[in-house]
Structure formats: structure tokens, C-alpha cells
A and B are shown apart, each in its own frame.
Chain A
Amino acid sequence: MRWTARTRAGVVCAVVAAVFTAYSVRLVDLQVTKHQSYAKKAAEKHTMRMVIHARRGLIFDRNGELLASNLPVRTVVADGSHIQDPAALAKIAAPFLEQDEGDLRARLSSEKKYIVLRREFPEEKAVALKAAIQAANLRGIYFEKDAVRTYPNGQMLGHVLGFLNNQGSGIQGVEMTMESHLRGQDGYRYIEHDRTGREIMLYRGQEEPAVHGLNVRLTIDMGLQAILEEELDTAFRDLKLEMAAAILMDPNTGEILAMASRPCFDPNRPGEAKPEEMKNRAILDMVEPGSTFKIVVASGAINEGIVNDKTSIFCENGAFSYGGKILRDHHGYGAMGVADILVKSSNIGSAKMALMMKDAKYYEYVRRFGFGEKSGIELPGEIPGLVHPPHRWDKLTITRMAMGQSVAATPLQITMGMSVVANGGRLFAPQIVRSIEDADGRVVQDKPPKMLREVVSKKTANFVGRALSGVVAEGGTAQLAKVAGFTTAGKTGTAQKASPTGGYAPGKYVVSFVGYLPVENPRFVCLVLLDDAKVASNLNYGGLLAAPVFSRIGERAARYLDLVPALRAELPGPLAMDDQKKERAN
């Protein structure tokens, strides 16, 4: 073959064409055939999905007082591949992070790309540490955004508010029940970053903004809550109680104005709390209500027309033999009207009224008052109490139930029961959440009061209410519950404490008082329930222990709510005399 110029040129062209064709094929292969695969690899290396954290909603009381908020903190992390001088970095960071310099140096010497150095690092310290690192011209320590939930009032209202777990989800109280509203929804943003990990903003990709959580406004009034807790604390400390609970409720709406249990815990430090301290006794504990339950039988019997204000019931002079057992009263009473049976808290009179009503009708009223079923309050773990149906009763059960034995109720149910009498016979669903609002305070979801049913007629409720006023008056079992200046009504309860081994624990009592004021236009119902006070057994009565606590709460609450006193002054002896002396001196 002769290598003419033309041949040589042809060969060179062919070689060049072949090379270019090869490159072109490879180019097509890279850019077209394997485009998706390489694009994915590149994206994995440089693109990341950055989560934009949603801010958890706040919790307010009914007047806008902040009860739960978010404190911004940082998670301090290190990227070992970015650290060139671990010793210098450790020397700067150790005092801020409050860690041993040697340990920190060892951790920073790792090649790992994600080393968590400290969680919940305060924002101010993070700013200072960042400035110190920048001043030393070092890198490798970064600060991720985070937030911790804080409860500015500490223990106050802790049971109602609840707290969050490590993942930031509510696991108790309103934090749990309102989780779906409070949590919000995290957003995201696709970003590209350079070799050093810095975002290249020019290539910022798809973005979905975070939807912040909604705020929750409770029905709680912190002014009343503070009063309730202070008085409950005093009683808990002075009487060395095992447990105590108190509730303030608006009988006309079912709104819970205050709710407290003792012992309690600080939701800012749930890890330090004992399990029994975390229990919201107002809805999680059931007790035999004792004589407070007598309002059910009285209301039912009157409402059914079985008894009326003229009916006289013989109370067997204090000992009633029924079903082979003797039922006793505290004092021996003869014939009494319905009102007097409530005022004197006669067990025999109540039992006889229940017998007159018969099993089915009495059971119907117990259930209509809301006992034996969950109230549906927006708090987790509520129990329904214990009310056996009539087919499981023995002959004595009806007489025992009438005086608040053989039945168990939560403190909330007892309060609801008294609210029925206070508001004219209507049972309202208890409510702790008033509304759901957005960040600007606009109501997203309103929660109006919900009436469940009319339990008794207004006439019946008024009759029982008048009778309950007598309980607080001269000759009643709870004269110490009187609130100066206001008409007050209520009922004491003194129940033996059930023993875990069966039967009743000797010498242990659960005493209570549930009442309301003013009688003419009740503004609140208040329950005070005290478990196992360490006092002499002749003093361990609802009228002696729980009633004075009610009186103090009622008095302070009335002043807080600016209620106008309706009664004329009835100053006690010494004070009245002092007052008169002053008057004379003036």
C-alpha cells in the first residue's frame, strides 16, 4: 500500500473521527444513558433535604397567661473531617461545654462526620462559643437548632399541662391530648452545599415552609389556680395527707377553672418525679364519695315524686336493721324531712329513700349524674369510676350506695354531680380546653360548653340546693365551710379508705367537701378531697378538715372574681368586739 498524501490524510481523519466518536459515545453514555444515575449520585453528594422545624404551639390560660412555651437551645455537633487542630478546638470549647478538655480532644480527633458533643446547649453560650471559634479561625464545631419546652410556673398546674418525651411529643396532660394541634408540621428545603458543608444558596431547591403548631387556650384561670394550689399545699403539709385533690368548676358551663392534686411534680424536670407524683388524682383516682353522694338519692327521689318537701322519713333513732346488718347514723335521729336528712347527713334516711326508689330507678339516676362513665374531659387516662349494675347488687348494696359506699367516683365526677344541683339540674361535659388559636390569636376552633343532659328538673335542683345551704348553716355538718358574706351550699363526705387487701383500712379516711357559691347564682363549684389526714379519728371528718379549706378557697376566689357579698356582717365574737371597741374609740 502506497502512503500517498491522500491516504495519510484519510487515516488521520479516520483516527481523529474514531477518537471523537468514542468521546461522543462516552458523552452520550454519561449525559443521556446514565444521566439519572449520575445525577442521583451528584445529588446525594451535594444535595440534602434540610428539615425546617415547626415551632410547637403555646399553652395559655383563659386570660392569656403563658403556661407552656419553647426555649430555643442548640445541639452542639462536630464534624471530624473538618477539624484540623483538635487540641486547639478542645481548649476553646471545653470551658463552654463544661467538659474535660482531654476527653473532648479525644472525641474531636475522631474522623466521624457527626459527633454530638452536647444537647440542650443554651443559646447565649452557643453564640459566645461560635464567636470564640471564629476568632481563633478554627472550624469543625457546629450548632443545630433545637428547642425545649418550658413551663414558667413550675409545679403549678403540672398535672393538667403534662410534659413532652425525648422526641418532643406530649405524653401527659393537655400536651398529650392536644398533641395534633400543638405539634405543627415540619417543613423542608432542598439545598446544595459545597465541599466544606456550606449551603450554596444559589442552588436552593424545592421548599415547603413549616406549619407551626396552634396555640391552646385553657379554661383554667391562673389566679384561681394559684389560690387553689396554695390552700391545698397548706392542707397537704399541715394535715400530712397521703393525697389531696381540689377542683374549681364553673357549674354553668362545665369549664374547669382550677384543678390540682397533691403530691405533684415539676413538668420542667419530669425525670426527677416519682410515678405517684405524676398522677392527676382528680381524674385518675377513684374514691368512695361518702356522704357527698347523698345528693344523688335525694335529687332522684324528689325528681321522681317519691318524696317531697313534706315527706317525713323515720331514721330509726340511729340504728336500722336491714338485710341482716345494722346501718347506723352518727347520731340517733327520729323522723326527718328530706332536707334535714341532707343537713344531718343521715345514712338511714338516705338508704330508705334509695329503697323507696328501687334498684333500677336509683341506678338510672346514679348514671344520669355521670357516675360510672368517663366525662370526656380533654385529659388523658381518665377512669370511669365504678358503679355496678343492679343485677350485680346484693340486698345491702342499694343502702350502701345511697351513703356513698359500694361505689367509686373520681373527684371530677363528684364535682360534676354537685354542678348539676348548682346549675338547676343540667349535666355539662367538663371542659379544660377553651379554644384553639393561631399565632395571631385568631380562634381556629372554638369549644363551646356542651350540655349532656337534664338530670333533674330545676325545681328539684333548687330544693336540693336549699337543703345543702342548711349543711353549711347552724346545725349542719359543715359550718366551717361558710364563706363570709356569701350564701354557700355544699355537702360533706367522710368515707373509710378502701384497703388494698380488701375491706377498709382501719383509722384511714377520705374526707371531702363539695360546695358552691353564691347559692342564688352559683359562680363556681369547689371540691376539696383529703386522703388520710394524720389527725385524731374524732377530728377526721369532711366538715372539720375539708370544709375550712373550702371556706378559704371560696373566700379568696370570691374576692378574686369580685363577687358582691350578699349577706350582712356576722362577725365572730372577739373580732366583732374589737371592731365595736374601735368604733367607740373613733
Chain B
Amino acid sequence: MNTNRKKQVNPVHLTTLVRCLLLAFLVGVGGLFFLYIKTQQFTLSEEIRQVERRIADLRAQNESLLARVTELSSRRSLQQRIADGFISLKPIQDNVIARLMPPVRATEDGVLRTAFNEGLRQ
């Protein structure tokens, strides 16, 4: 038995070793690739989150500005600015009116235009 054991050799099976190492390498590479992909996913999702947040912020700012524009162009605000003299109303000049019918003056046809009572009030 002893004699046999001395003679017995345990050769390294290079093919098997290479195969095992290759398998281990592939598993390792696969793992690393998985990690890489996972990290990429996290990074992208974080970027998407940031973009979503920026869009939400911009939308909120936009709505805020729209509300401000609405308020400034509201009837109340415009009337107040007319009253304060910041803007004034001017009658539309004849040369910028496109008339389908020729203009008629109250004194010509005897029909009373409704503007006259306003004058009385003032």
C-alpha cells in the first residue's frame, strides 16, 4: 500500500483547472456586470428623479407666474391701474377701424346712440 502510495501521483488536470478558473472568472465577470448594471440603473433612476423634480419645480414656477400674470391682467387690476393713471384708454382712431358699413352720426339719422347719457352723468 505504501509502495503504491509513493508511486501514486496526483497530476494537475490543467484542462479542468482552466475550466474551473474560467467558470469562476465568468461568474465573477457576470457578478461585476450585474453590479455595474445595477449601479447604472440606480444612477439613471436618480437622474430621472432629479429631472422629474426639476420639471415639477419648473411647472410650479410656471403656474405661479401664470397666476401672477392672471392677477395683473385681471379686470380689477386693470381698472385699478386706469384709476391710478398708469394706463389710459384712448378711443380707437377711425383710420384703424375696418368698417363694413359707413359710420352714422346720431345727428344725421336722429337715432340716439347710447353714449349720451353717460355724458349727462358726468
* Interface residue ranges, A against B (CB under 8 Å): 65-66, 69-72, 122-124, 127, 145, 150, 152-156, 198-202, 222, 226, 483-486, 551-552, 555-556, 558-559, 565-572, 575, 579, 583
**Complex: A202 Cα to B38 Cα, angstroms:** 10
Contact indicator per residue, chain B 34-50, by CB within 8 Å of chain A (1) or not (0): 00000001100110110
Please indicate the chain B residues that have their CB under 8 angstroms from the CB of A555 in the complex.
Answer: 114, 117-118
Please indicate the chain B residues that have their CB under 8 angstroms from the CB of A486 in the complex.
Answer: 114
**Complex: A486 Cα to B114 Cα, angstroms:** 9
Instruction: Tell yes or no: B112 within 8 A of A by CB.
Output: yes
**Contact, CB under 8 Å: B60 / A153:** no
**Contact, CB under 8 Å: B74 / A565:** no
Please indicate the chain A residues that have their CB under 8 angstroms from the CB of B32 in the complex.
Answer: none
Nearest chain A CB to B63's CB is how many angstroms away? 5
Please indicate the chain B residues that have their CB under 8 angstroms from the CB of A565 in the complex.
Answer: 111-114
Nearest chain A CB to B73's CB is how many angstroms away? 8
Nearest chain B CB to A2's CB is how many angstroms away? 22
* Size range of the chain B interface in the assembly: 35 or more
Instruction: Tell yes or no: B86 within 8 A of A by CB.
Output: no
Instruction: Tell yes or no: B6 within 8 A of A by CB.
Output: no
Q: Which residue on chain A has the smallest CB distance to residue B80?
A: A154
Nearest chain B CB to A387's CB is how many angstroms away? 37
Q: Which residue on chain A has the smallest CB distance to residue B46?
A: A201
**Complex: A113 Cα to B46 Cα, angstroms:** 24
Please indicate the chain A residues that have their CB under 8 angstroms from the CB of B106 in the complex.
Answer: 569
**Contact, CB under 8 Å: A483 / B111:** no
**Contact, CB under 8 Å: A152 / B70:** yes
**Contact, CB under 8 Å: A579 / B63:** no
**Complex: A104 Cα to B60 Cα, angstroms:** 26
**Complex: A571 Cα to B111 Cα, angstroms:** 10
Please indicate the chain A residues that have their CB under 8 angstroms from the CB of B70 in the complex.
Answer: 66, 69, 150, 152
By secondary structure, the A interface counts as mixed
Please indicate the chain B residues that have their CB under 8 angstroms from the CB of A483 in the complex.
Answer: 114, 117
Q: Which residue on chain B has the smallest CB distance to residue A148?
A: B67
**Contact, CB under 8 Å: A72 / B116:** no
Nearest chain A CB to B48's CB is how many angstroms away? 6
Please indicate the chain B residues that have their CB under 8 angstroms from the CB of A552 in the complex.
Answer: 117-118, 121
**Contact, CB under 8 Å: A124 / B116:** no
Please indicate the chain B residues that have their CB under 8 angstroms from the CB of A156 in the complex.
Answer: 75-76
**Complex: A102 Cα to B86 Cα, angstroms:** 43
Which B64-80 residues sit within 8 Å CB-CB of chain A?
64, 66-67, 70-71, 74-77, 79
**Complex: A191 Cα to B99 Cα, angstroms:** 63
10 inter-chain pairs at a CB distance below 8 angstroms, sorted by A residue, are A72-B64, A123-B63, A127-B61, A153-B75, A200-B45, A201-B46, A483-B114, A555-B118, A565-B113, A569-B110
Q: Which residue on chain B has the smallest CB distance to residue A579?
A: B107
Q: Which residue on chain B has the smallest CB distance to residue A563?
A: B114
**Complex: A559 Cα to B118 Cα, angstroms:** 11
**Complex: A153 Cα to B41 Cα, angstroms:** 49
**Complex: A271 Cα to B51 Cα, angstroms:** 39
Query: Which residue, of B66, B75, B77, B107, has the highest number of chain A Cβ atoms within 10 A?
Result: B75
Instruction: Name the one of B48, B63, B64 contacting A122, with C-beta atoms under 8 angstroms.
Output: B64
Q: Which residue on chain B has the smallest CB distance to residue A566?
A: B111
**Contact, CB under 8 Å: A484 / B117:** yes
Q: Which residue on chain A has the smallest CB distance to residue B115?
A: A559
Please indicate the chain A residues that have their CB under 8 angstroms from the CB of B79 in the complex.
Answer: 226
Please indicate the chain A residues that have their CB under 8 angstroms from the CB of B116 in the complex.
Answer: 484, 571, 575
Instruction: Name the one of B45, B66, B113, B119 contacting A202, with C-beta atoms under 8 angstroms.
Output: B45
**Contacts A569-B106, A575-B120 hold; do A72 and B77 have CB atoms under 8 A apart?**
no
**Complex: A70 Cα to B67 Cα, angstroms:** 7
Please indicate the chain B residues that have their CB under 8 angstroms from the CB of A123 in the complex.
Answer: 60-61, 63-64
Please indicate the chain A residues that have their CB under 8 angstroms from the CB of B46 in the complex.
Answer: 201
Please indicate the chain A residues that have their CB under 8 angstroms from the CB of B56 in the complex.
Answer: 145
**Contact, CB under 8 Å: A226 / B64:** no
Please indicate the chain A residues that have their CB under 8 angstroms from the CB of B71 in the complex.
Answer: 150, 152
Please indicate the chain B residues that have their CB under 8 angstroms from the CB of A551 in the complex.
Answer: 117
**Contact, CB under 8 Å: A201 / B117:** no
**Contact, CB under 8 Å: B112 / A571:** yes
**Contact, CB under 8 Å: A485 / B63:** no
**Contacts A156-B76, A485-B114 hold; do A71 and B63 have CB atoms under 8 A apart?**
yes
**Contact, CB under 8 Å: A484 / B112:** yes
Contacts beyond the supplied A66-B70, A572-B120, A575-B119: 8 A-B pairs with Cβ under 8 Å:
A145-B56, A153-B74, A200-B45, A484-B114, A552-B118, A569-B106, A575-B116, A579-B107
Please indicate the chain B residues that have their CB under 8 angstroms from the CB of A556 in the complex.
Answer: 114, 118
